[in-house]
Structure 1
Amino acid sequence: MGPQSPDNPKTWSKGYRWYITTLAAVLLLNATFASSAPSGVIPDLIEYFSFSRAVGTLTIAIFVAGYCVGPLAWGPLSESYGRKPVFVFTFIVYTGFQIGCALSRNTASILIFRFLGGVFAASPLANSGAVIADIWDPAVRGEAMAIFTLAPFAGPTFGPIVSGFMANAGVSWRWVFWVLAMFTGTCLALVIFTLPETYVPILLVKRAQRLRKETGDNRYWAPLEREDKSIGERIKHVFARPFVVLVHEPMLIAITLYMSFMYGCLYLLFEAYPIVFTQGHNLNQGMSGLMFLPIFIGGITGVIIYLFFFNPRYERAIAAFAPYPVPPEYRMEVCMLAAPIFAGSFFWFGWTSYPSISLWAPMLSGIPLGVGVIFLFLGLFNYTIDAYLFVAASALSAITVVRSLFGAGFPLFATQMYVALNPRWASTLLGCIATLLGPIPFILRYYGHHLRRRSKYAPTGDLPIKPPSEEMKEKERAARAV
């Protein structure tokens, strides 16, 4: 499909593409909001179902565990059948499971519905970013991705706020899930009526089918129509490739470990914050949920700084390296700043968590935490795409699965850790681990090009690591012209 073709998503009007970007972000916001929404009504769930606090926490963790399964299927399926059909199918089923949670009468049903809801809610995790890549050129994609990145972190911070105030108002816990069902149903309607197909290979299939019908000439066909893979090959491609790439790539292992720890810490706070603010400062469920708001404010601050400072620097690097691509290591600049900010926020939170200290002190630690998380996510996410190119989807799928395991697992031991060690030392432990992981961006920045040269899956090892001279640029342009 030509760059000027009206069927090419990158030629659609900028306003329309920004609408699609916003809708993709809302779909992801919906999924992440649903993951943490029950946190404010866990005491009500414990009273109704008569289960333990650990099982109450499991209603959050098991939803996130569904993220470990969903991306392995929804991403590859979207590359075979298109983005829109996968969104429509998954959101229909996802809405049904939200209704199932609202009508649950026993522990088994709500846990099963939560897990299956997480599996189908993972569709935007796998495909919303792909939609943005479908419609934007690299020059603008950084801006779209910076705004889009807020969604996976805004959702978990809003969940406790909404459900906390609902619990404080005396609303039944079932209404939390009815609200989620209505939110999901609205998203489904928007997908059905306003989201176009954006995946170019599928658009080529539709064009070929249209031409065959209009002309009666069967010579028109799209490459995707000629693919002939057995069921076994498809299963291997869907489920095995991400992990094959992961175990062979030290760079990807390091990135996955860092992003997974960061993601796990975010979900761990759903257990840590009630200990500090609800128990320590005697806040009700609604006010305790508001303590998550600074994390979102920090995320917005991080996006603004990225758009007005780091993204222009990267655009200048694009001009300096042209016609070569910018080495992936330049993505690490923002992470080198974020690493100490992310680690320091836990020391700040921990050592201001005494009940005798104003709650504003630990609450405001969420601002640098949000800034650090956004910076790290943007830098590491973009580094993975730039370094792995044609296997980037598999690399990102591996990261998504592993980080979801951390997100599901960390809340399960958070309460015990914060009770046994107290909030000061528990947060210090997290800060120390973050400090140990902090050198990863620095290592990738200065030694990543050596690792890429030895990599089996990163086809970018021969890129210049410094801006080329004008003579080199002219030779490259002449070679491409020939």
Structure 2
Amino acid sequence: MSISVRAPSPARSQSSQSAQTLADRDVQDLEKGDLRNQLKAEEQGSADNDATDEDDVEDADQAPAGKEAVTKVEEDPFHVTPKGRMHLHPHTWSVPYRWFLTGFAGLLVLNATFASSAPSGLIPSIIEHYNVSEEVGVLLIAIFVAGYCVGPLLWGPLSERYGRRLIFLFVWPFYTGFQVGCALSPNIGSLIVFRFLGGCFAAAPLTNSGGIIADLWGPDRRGDAMAIFALMPFAGPALAPICSGFMQVTGTSFRWIFWVLTIFAGACGIGIIFLLPETYLPVLMAAEAKRLRKETGDDRYHADLDNKQESGVKAVLQRTVLKPFIMFFQEPMLAVITLYMSLVYGVVYLLFEAIPIVFSRTHHLNAGLSGCVFLALLSGGAAGVLGYLFYWNPKYMKIHHALGGKMVPPEERLKPLLISAPALAVAFFWFGWTGQYESVSIWAPIMAVFVLGFCVLYVFLTGFNYLIDCYLWNAASALSINTVIRSTFGAGFPLFATQMYNTLGTGGASSLLGGLATLFIPVPFILIKYGKRIRALSKNAVVMD
């Protein structure tokens, strides 16, 4: 099996080239950089480097040369590429260092998602202090997640132009400052505004941390790294209610939860400044070209990003804000995976209302103990990570090695969904009908929450891996639109959760969610069977011959 990337024909006219898709242009830029030679350089210069991962070095280039696949360009001695500079390629950095950066990227995601649900256990105190309705109190959760719908439109695409580190350095002081604003808010209006703005800037890790992981790892090891990343989007929301719940029980001022967020954000900000390097290869090559121009005084040195600085508002918008939307409407794979992940993401935030109903009203737990039920959600996710690390990813690595280091079809990433998609639907019915009756043991709905956590982890993990494997250089943009749409669900679901559970009952409301989950059960089966054909029609994805 050979691998090719959809590339423009050398016979195209200048006018037709102006109508290329965004992905075509990105791929062509990469090809002009002769990234195919990375593989040869790595094999010659880095194969014996004990401090690096051999498989990741081999995977530094995902598009082997092929007469029909690539346009050959004469080598430009002033064109700065990874050839001869493989020490700059993140795939050649030491494995422990890359794992450290992976963990730190995951911590940034945990910070952002922890902040999203942090006030949930203190909503009664906030309602009483500001004398507002319950709907306004719940809005504090929804409005933060609504900020996730705005931020990714900028942070993801801009990181593909200016690098991951620069975006983090820009957004983090604002994000930290908005937590201070929440803590000092004199009225509910200012609190809502600061929560929304905080969500806009907190969205940066949700898109760019995934980009960092794609920068650091080849497909052979990326699955292990993504397992950590996939746990974070609901680890934060699972831990935050425990903290705020016990604050509510002990009578601690609700303002303290925002001071906790300020301290957490400040600590992560210091880490960004001193610990997080630039990982995006095109930006690293552009920085090297700039260094060479400065040291030699020769302005002919250039990198791929130097050649992609379009002028005009339309061109800038196409390559930044509009790019994720263009991809979403061009790519059915991206659309269906995003909608499935959005449903699951919405359910995670809906549980902030459902769990108190089941365990506080039905089983009479206080806010602190009710929040502890979220540990079952987190434990299920952790169990899913272990299952992936010790079963699913080793299977993937065997396939990767059997193909001689060539890229594995992205559909292999979806195999865990063949089990978890049906189990997710079952877990909803299980939670609803065992949680409705006080006579049923409290451990029955708790175990259902555990299974939900297990299945949610696999939906996120397989979704992230699949999108990154499919779109590679456009991964940050794909993750951006994914974050925007699923955040819309995450913001909307809590707003009607209480009314839905009060009207339909625990069993009926959970069964409705189970029915929606049932509709998505065929998705992984269809994509696994027909994914290759769909990708062959794609304008942005890797195409497998």
Matching residue within 291, 297, 308 for 1:227: 308
Report how far residue 310 of structure 1 moved: 0.7
- Looking at structure 2, the residues matched to 145 and 92 of structure 1 have their Cα atoms a distance apart, in angstroms, of 27
- Looking at structure 1, the residues matched to 213 and 266 of structure 2 have their Cα atoms a distance apart, in angstroms, of 22
Tell me the equivalent position of 1:286.
368
> Is the Cα–Cα contact under 8 Å of residues 145 and 491 in structure 2 kept in the other structure?
yes
Please identify runs of 4+ aligned residues in structure 1 that moved more than 4 A.
Answer: none
Query: Is 2:198 the partner of 1:117?
Result: yes
- Looking at structure 2, the residues matched to 318 and 10 of structure 1 have their Cα atoms a distance apart, in angstroms, of 17
What residue identity is the alignment partner of 2:144? F
Aligned length: 462
Q: Deviation digits for residues 337-395 of structure 1, max 9, x if unmatched?
A: 11011111111111111122222211121211111111122222222222334444333
Tell me the equivalent position of 1:28.
109
Matching residue within 132, 136, 139 for 2:220: 139
The verdict on how the C-alpha distance between 1:213 and 1:392 changes in structure 2, with shifts beyond 3 A counting, is closer
Report how far residue 87 of structure 1 moved: 0.7
> Is the Cα–Cα contact under 8 Å of residues 3 and 11 in structure 1 kept in the other structure?
no
Query: Is 2:492 the partner of 1:413?
Result: no
Q: Deviation digits for residues 144-200 of structure 1, max 9, x if unmatched?
A: 111221111100100101110111111100000000000000000011111111122
Report how far residue 401 of structure 1 moved: 0.9
Comparing 434-443 with 237-246, greater Cα deviation is found at 237-246
Give structure 2 stretches of 5+ with no counterpart.
1-81
* Residues 52-451 of structure 1: pairs in structure 2 closer than 5 A: 52-229=133-310, 230-322=312-404, 324-353=406-435, 354-451=437-534
- Looking at structure 2, the residues matched to 332 and 212 of structure 1 have their Cα atoms a distance apart, in angstroms, of 46
What residue identity is the alignment partner of 1:126? T
What residue identity is the alignment partner of 1:264? G
- Looking at structure 1, the residues matched to 541 and 163 of structure 2 have their Cα atoms a distance apart, in angstroms, of 26
Tell me the equivalent position of 1:471.
none
Q: Deviation digits for residues 432-468 of structure 1, max 9, x if unmatched?
A: 11111111111111122232233343341x43xxxxx
> Is the Cα–Cα contact under 8 Å of residues 68 and 400 in structure 1 kept in the other structure?
yes
Q: Deviation digits for residues 211-239 of structure 1, max 9, x if unmatched?
A: 22322232323222233312321123222
Tell me the equivalent position of 1:469.
none
The verdict on how the C-alpha distance between 1:196 and 1:59 changes in structure 2, with shifts beyond 3 A counting, is same
> Is the Cα–Cα contact under 8 Å of residues 242 and 398 in structure 1 kept in the other structure?
yes
Report how far residue 285 of structure 1 moved: 1.0
> Is the Cα–Cα contact under 8 Å of residues 5 and 11 in structure 1 kept in the other structure?
yes
Tell me the equivalent position of 1:472.
none
What residue identity is the alignment partner of 1:236? Q
- Looking at structure 1, the residues matched to 121 and 432 of structure 2 have their Cα atoms a distance apart, in angstroms, of 22
> Is the Cα–Cα contact under 8 Å of residues 127 and 137 in structure 2 kept in the other structure?
yes
Q: Deviation digits for residues 401-434 of structure 1, max 9, x if unmatched?
A: 1101000000000000000011111111111111
What residue identity is the alignment partner of 2:98? R
- Looking at structure 2, the residues matched to 126 and 286 of structure 1 have their Cα atoms a distance apart, in angstroms, of 32
- Looking at structure 2, the residues matched to 323 and 174 of structure 1 have their Cα atoms a distance apart, in angstroms, of 53
- More helix per residue: 1
- Looking at structure 2, the residues matched to 238 and 231 of structure 1 have their Cα atoms a distance apart, in angstroms, of 11
TM-score (norm 1): 0.93
Report how far residue 330 of structure 1 moved: 1.6
Q: Deviation digits for residues 251-297 of structure 1, max 9, x if unmatched?
A: 32221211110110111000111111112111111111001001110
What residue identity is the alignment partner of 1:122? A
> Is the Cα–Cα contact under 8 Å of residues 230 and 464 in structure 2 kept in the other structure?
no
Q: Deviation digits for residues 39-66 of structure 1, max 9, x if unmatched?
A: 0000000001111111111100000000
Comparing 154-163 with 143-152, greater Cα deviation is found at 143-152
Q: Deviation digits for residues 13-43 of structure 1, max 9, x if unmatched?
A: 2221111111100000000000000100000
- Looking at structure 2, the residues matched to 383 and 433 of structure 1 have their Cα atoms a distance apart, in angstroms, of 22
What residue identity is the alignment partner of 1:449? K
The verdict on how the C-alpha distance between 1:374 and 1:42 changes in structure 2, with shifts beyond 3 A counting, is same
Report how far residue 4 of structure 1 moved: 6.2
Query: Is 2:139 the partner of 1:51?
Result: no
Comparing 179-188 with 339-348, greater Cα deviation is found at 339-348
The verdict on how the C-alpha distance between 1:415 and 1:183 changes in structure 2, with shifts beyond 3 A counting, is same
> Is the Cα–Cα contact under 8 Å of residues 144 and 196 in structure 2 kept in the other structure?
yes
> Is the Cα–Cα contact under 8 Å of residues 210 and 476 in structure 2 kept in the other structure?
no
Cα RMSD (Å) of the superposition? 1.6
What residue identity is the alignment partner of 2:417? C
- Looking at structure 2, the residues matched to 131 and 249 of structure 1 have their Cα atoms a distance apart, in angstroms, of 23
> Is the Cα–Cα contact under 8 Å of residues 324 and 480 in structure 2 kept in the other structure?
yes
- Looking at structure 2, the residues matched to 40 and 241 of structure 1 have their Cα atoms a distance apart, in angstroms, of 38
> Is the Cα–Cα contact under 8 Å of residues 354 and 501 in structure 2 kept in the other structure?
yes
- Looking at structure 1, the residues matched to 383 and 514 of structure 2 have their Cα atoms a distance apart, in angstroms, of 22
Comparing 207-216 with 140-149, greater Cα deviation is found at 207-216
- Looking at structure 2, the residues matched to 10 and 436 of structure 1 have their Cα atoms a distance apart, in angstroms, of 39
> Is the Cα–Cα contact under 8 Å of residues 156 and 479 in structure 2 kept in the other structure?
no
Report how far residue 3 of structure 1 moved: 7.5
The verdict on how the C-alpha distance between 1:217 and 1:453 changes in structure 2, with shifts beyond 3 A counting, is closer
What residue identity is the alignment partner of 1:411? P
> Is the Cα–Cα contact under 8 Å of residues 211 and 475 in structure 2 kept in the other structure?
no
Report how far residue 82 of structure 1 moved: 1.9
Tell me the equivalent position of 1:37.
118
- Looking at structure 1, the residues matched to 90 and 373 of structure 2 have their Cα atoms a distance apart, in angstroms, of 41
The verdict on how the C-alpha distance between 1:89 and 1:219 changes in structure 2, with shifts beyond 3 A counting, is same
What residue identity is the alignment partner of 1:149? A
- Looking at structure 1, the residues matched to 446 and 278 of structure 2 have their Cα atoms a distance apart, in angstroms, of 42
- Looking at structure 1, the residues matched to 323 and 281 of structure 2 have their Cα atoms a distance apart, in angstroms, of 23
The verdict on how the C-alpha distance between 1:4 and 1:371 changes in structure 2, with shifts beyond 3 A counting, is farther
The verdict on how the C-alpha distance between 1:23 and 1:3 changes in structure 2, with shifts beyond 3 A counting, is farther
Comparing 218-227 with 72-81, greater Cα deviation is found at 218-227
